[in-house]
Amino acid sequence: METEKKNGAQLDVDIATLRQAASERTTPRFWRSLDELAATPEFREHAENEFPHGANDITATLDRRELLKVMAASAAFAGLTGCTKLPEQRIVPYVRQPEQIIPGKPLFYATATTLAGVATGILVESHMARPTKVEGNPDHPASLGASDAFAQASVLGLYDPDRSQAEIHDGRIGSWPEFQNELSAALAAEKGSGGAGLRLLTPTITSPTLASQIRAFLKTFPSAKWHQYESVARDNVREGAKLAFGEYVNTVYLVDRAEVILSLDSDFLTSGPGCVRYSRDFSRKRRVESPESKMNRLYAVESTPTNTGAMADHRLKMRATEIESFARALAKELGLAAAAGPAFSSSVPPEWIPAVARDLKQHAGASLVVLGDHQPPIVHALVHSINQALGNFDKTVYITQPIEETPINQWQSIGELTADMRAGKVTTLFILGGNPAYDAPADLTLKELLPKVKFSARLGLYEDETSALCHWHIPQAHSLESWGDAKAYNGAITVSQPLIAPLYGGKSEIDFLAVLTGQAGEPSHDIVREFWKAQQTDVQAFDAHWEKTLRDGVMAGVALFAKQVSLKPGIGADAPAAAQQGLEIIFRPDPTIWDGRFANNGWLQELPKPLTKLTWDSVAMLSPKTAQRLGIKSEDAVELKYQGRTIVAPAWVMPGHADESVTVFLGYGRTRAGRVGTGVGFDAGWIRPYATPWIGTGLEIRKTGAKWALAATQTHNSMEGRDLVRVATLDEYRKNPQFAQVDAEKNPLSLYPEVKYEGYSWGMAIDLNACTGCGACVVACQAENNIAVVGKTEVMIGREMHWIRIDRYFEGDLDDPRTYHEPVVCMHCEDAPCEVVCPVVATVHSAEGLNEMIYNRCVGTRYCSNNCPYKVRRFNYRLYSDWETPSLFGMRNPNVTVRSRGVMEKCSYCVQRINAVKIEAEKQDRTVRDGEIVTACQQSCPSEAIVFGNINDPESAVSKLKKKNLNYSLLEELNTRPRTTYQARLRNPNPEIEKVAI
């Protein structure tokens, strides 16, 4: 600001002024020209009239292709690169702590990613101070080394060229000092009333430091109000806890102690707080070593098919509104005083509920009932009472203090805020993150109210729907660029460290609040550190404690302990509401882009939704029976009318969906997401009413007659009677341990002598009994191997580039099928059909058994793909890799070639990782230890379904797996002799429900 004032009058730029201007800048940022630096009026005029402001207007009028060009140009124009900009403060590397950065050697730093405030510990791989890859933090309880797709994709989020790169003031470029000036004026105006017109809107906050800052701010402005809002809020969970215990609490499951689990409309294995950990714990209880092994049992009762339902031994489809009746019936069966709910609309097998109840009771203390977040509070309370009745508390489930710093009913909170805005009570509004203009319930009309606020400022990663309606937009620093702290699902605290200085000069939430609380200019590192120092009684030991916290990625000695709570009596004793008639609508967060925050993340857009295998779109999902009744087919554009609002959506007929029920997914239909996410899909939020944000009835659905083409990566759902996924029940396996060895011809005849592998011989085993189909591996592979995103039209014609895909097959009844997930990577066949047909020897077998792809040699005949029975080869039909956007260069794994057009590519078993470990081992004059090489898919897998290693070593984990009688090869009758093999899937049905005759 000062600089501008000084130079404002000057017409010519002189060098002295420039030097001064450059030195006065405190934050590292790029300037576009010397004129800008000097901030001459010409430049300002130019900047305002010509480029960045113009770009904002362009979004409204130009199509996406044009926009794309402009955005790419702007990125290049701004001179932004992913070059090394070290954070200013010292950050501490994980475990290995070299004296300095060694070129070519990545370092790993522990930090955390958060989703809806809940942290998952991660390690970030940093090449020359450029974060390139996220891994789970083995020391963090929510991760144990694994991660989910969101965490994996956060690297792309960091380097996203569409992230906002400048302060925007009423549509024009502003500056941070200018903002601070205006802010002080606004705050000064509020001072008199104690901040009566002051509002702060944040997403869920679990960060102790941030919360302390907010509290300090509220102390200065006692009449100000703090609102929290997320469109995928866990209000029902909180309110259910309040119903049950009289207070907000946090529930943590110990899935690894549960023998019998009942999941009620929940997807606890792949979504929600702690899902990565739950998935691991669940799969450990499912591992079958021999016919003598035991296995847990999972029942799922659900409306929308989920990954958890696909893993279940027994799955019952049921309308979401009827889950309450189910919970009541179960409670009654368990002897609780619950009043019966309305009758089920679909037939529930009569033996089901008593059998489940018996099974749960038999495993009292080792059973677990989990409920979906979106179910009404009363059902949550009922489930608490059921778990209590089963004696599961403190065994498979425990209660802690809430992990939110200030747990509130967020839905109520946003309601109050909009009411105040409507009444004109809000004069100054700060919005930290979130995107309420897009995702607040449409009937609250936040979009119309927001521009009327006198002073509104928004801190956001993108200049999105909300920013467009605020006076000020401040670019937010990405979580990998900022200091902070957050709690995991069980309260474990991680102090997150920045891996890189903000690429686009963003501010973190802590920086922003520091301005509000008068700590402006204080580095966020100091604020976080000081906060924790103040918590520490032993000040002497703090330095060591701090160092260790940063290094380990989890703070010692602060975990939340099980809390003693007492259940209120008589839960569910009141008669429930009458049955809700009519077509049901269920709102769900999207499995890959959640509430829309990941809309501009190409990896997540192109990650197939686990059950539909759709990309780049969300759908209105309905059961085959309902679709038939309504005459609707998949890809019909249908009009959904709910509570007076209508929206057009593509229909998707989903086997296994509850009848007379439609699921829509939030997060699509963004209007200002960026070049990737803008205009993709439809906004289900538009018909989502404030009163019933999750489940409701009375939906009207009508065919429009138009079609809505969707991009699915898998269009055929049946196995066609081929034994690609081999399944048996545990009993069948015990009776016939060799069931998976269908037509095993172990030593097929060959004209050629067997190739002997001296030394290493790599192989992989994939456990179908563990894989939940979550998709973390797909994104992990994409990040590790620089795999390109191709876009919807290319996916529609089958040109997606993923090296690992998760096949999903349905088996049995169309209305209620069994669902199987099967990850497919390159099989690295011993007798690889692809190798012989390549005319230029571009794909060859290595001395360690890898089927290698030589990009430089490939001329692109694609014969190898035709001859690959597994169809794991992917071809660069066009130039898919982005060779132009500078900000993406920094993201790439320097050890993997970025492919050009016209070459074939495929899974390499992460050969760069193999070689890195081998080099290290050779330096130490030893052989590679088992488990030392971890492929990207394996590392990310929450359920440890993928094992990789040396099959020449009989003691390696992978060799042992391959020796198991559950081990089989895909299409082994072709004699390709794959190195990737599968462990057959097992089911553990309750004999009382499934009467099997063998």
Partner 1 sequence: MADSPADKLSQQPAPAPILGPGYSFASVTDKISAIVLIRRPPKWWILGFAGAFALVMLLLYSITYLFAVGVGIWGIQIPVAWGFAIINFVWWIGIGHAGTLISAILLLLRQQWRTSINRFAEAMTLFAVSCAGIFPVIHMGRPWLAYWLFPYPDTMKMWPNFRSPLVWDAFAVSTYATVSAMFWFIGLLPDLATLRDRAKNRAARIIYGFLAMGWRGSAVHWYRHETASLLLAGLATPLVLSVHTIVSFDFAYAIVPGWHATLFPPYFVAGAIYAGFAMVLTLSIPVRKIFGLQDFITMRHLDNMGKVLLATGLIVGYGYMMEAFSAYYSGNQYERFMILNRMGGPYAIIYWCLVACNIVTPQFLWSRKVRSKAGALFAIAMVVNVGMWLERFVIVVTSLHRDFMPSAWGMYYPTRWDITTFIGTIGLFLALLFLFIRFLPLISIFEMRALVSEEEKKVAD
Please give the residue ranges that form the binding site for partner 1 (CB under 8 A): 714-722, 724, 794, 797-799, 805, 807-809, 822, 824, 833, 836-841, 857-863, 865-867, 869-871, 873-879, 901-904, 970-971, 974
Closest CB to partner 1 among 150 and 809?
A: 809
**Closest CB 469 distance from partner 1, rounded Å:** 40
Q: Provide φ and ψ at 641, rounded to 5°.
A: -120, 120
What does each C-alpha distance from 47 to 172, 445, 776 come to in angstroms?
Answer: 8, 33, 42
CA atoms within 13 A on the CB side of 364: 10
Burial class (CB in 10 A: 0-12, 13-18, 19+), 597: buried
What's the min distance (Å) between Cβ of 722 and partner 1? Answer: 7
Q: How far is the CB of 666 from partner 1 (least distance, A)?
A: 28
With contact defined as beta carbons under 8 Å apart, do 589 and 685 qualify?
no
Position 546: which residue type? W
Q: Which is nearer to partner 1, 751 or 998 (CB)?
A: 751
Residues with Cβ < 8 Å from 120, sequence gap 6 or more?
112, 113, 114, 136, 140, 142, 143, 147, 148, 151, 276, 488
Least spacing, CB of residue 550 vs partner 1, in Å = 44
* Residue 62 or 854 with smaller CB distance to partner 1: 854
Give least dist CB 902 to partner 1, A: 3
- 118 close to 923: Cβ distance less than 8 angstroms: no
Residue 374 or 802 with smaller CB distance to partner 1: 802
Strand ranges, E, within 467-583: 472-475, 484-488, 493-496
Distance of closest approach, residue 782 Cβ to partner 1, in angstroms: 16
Tell me the pairing of strands 118-127 and 484-488. Answer: parallel
Q: How far is the CB of 711 from partner 1 (least distance, A)?
A: 12
**648 phi and psi angles, rounded to 5 deg:** -100, 130
Cβ at position 854, least distance to partner 1 in Å:
10
- Of 711, 681, 882, the C-alpha closest to 68 is 882
Q: State how far the Cα of 389 lies from the Cα of 386, in Å rounded to an integer.
A: 5
Residue among 176 and 803 whose Cβ is closer to partner 1:
803
Q: How far apart are CA 176 and CA 876, in angstroms?
A: 43
Q: How far is the CB of 621 from partner 1 (least distance, A)?
A: 20
Neighbouring-strand partners of residue 639: 648, 702
Q: Are 671 and 679 in contact (CB under 8 A)?
A: yes
The least CB distance from residue 101 to partner 1, in Å, is 35
Closest to partner 1 by CB, 60 or 859? 859
User: Distance between CA 524 and CA 569 in Å, rounded?
Assistant: 47
Closer CB to partner 1, residue 198 or residue 868? 868
> Token pair for residue 123?
């390690």
CB of 373 or CB of 807, closer to partner 1: 807
- Specify the residue, 12 or 720, whose C-beta has the smaller distance to partner 1: 720
Contact 837, 867 (CB under 8 A): yes
Select from 195, 800, 686, 807 the least CA-distant residue to 442: 686
C-alpha–C-alpha distance, residues 933 and 948, integer Å: 7
**Cα 744 from Cα 968, distance rounded (Å):** 8
Taking the complex as a whole, how short is the minimal distance between the CB of residue 795 and partner 1, in angstroms? 10
Q: Name the minimum Å distance from CB 632 to partner 1.
A: 22
Instruction: Calculate Rg over the CA atoms of the chain.
Output: 28
Q: Are the CB atoms for 695 and 302 separated by under 8 Å?
A: no
Report DSSP state, residue 372: -
Name the residue nearer to partner 1 (CB basis): 540 or 715: 715
CA distances from 510 to 202, 458, 464, 549 (A): 12, 14, 21, 19
C-beta neighbour count of 188 within 10 angstroms:
9
Quick one: 169 or 985, whose CB is closer to partner 1?
A: 985
Identify which of residues 108 and 877 has a Cβ nearer to partner 1 in the complex.
877
SS3 assignment, position 185: helix
Residue 688 Cβ, how far from partner 1 at the closest point, in Å?
A: 34
Contact partners, residue 963, CB within 8 Å, separation at least 6: none
Indicate the SS3 state at residue 462.
Answer: coil
Helix (H, G, I), strand (E, B) or coil at 641: strand
229/880 with CB nearer partner 1: 880
Cβ nearer to partner 1, comparing 677 with 978:
978
Shortest reach from residue 859's CB to partner 1, in Å: 5
- For residue 818, what are the CA distances in angstroms to 91, 147, 315, 846, 969? 49, 26, 8, 39, 22
Q: Which is nearer to partner 1, 249 or 787 (CB)?
A: 787
Please, what is the minimum distance in Å from the beta carbon of residue 503 to partner 1? Answer: 31
Closer of 349 and 748 to partner 1 (Cβ)? 748
Nearer to partner 1, 648 or 971 (CB): 971
> What gap in Å lies between CA 649 and CA 644, rounded to an integer?
16
Taking the complex as a whole, the smallest distance from the CB of residue 833 to partner 1 amounts, in Å, to 5
Distance CA 614, CA 929 (A): 40
Q: How far is the CB of 754 from partner 1 (least distance, A)?
A: 18
Contact by Cβ (8 Å): 873, 857: no
C-beta closer to partner 1: residue 567 or 974: 974
| C-alpha torsion angle, residues 622, 624, 626, 631 (rounded to 10) | 100
- Closest approach, Cβ 873 to partner 1, in A, equals 7
- Cβ distance 147 to 120 under 8 Å? yes
Residue 799 half-sphere exposure toward CB, CA atoms < 13 A:
19
* Total count of residues recorded for the chain: 998
Residue 929 three-state SS: coil
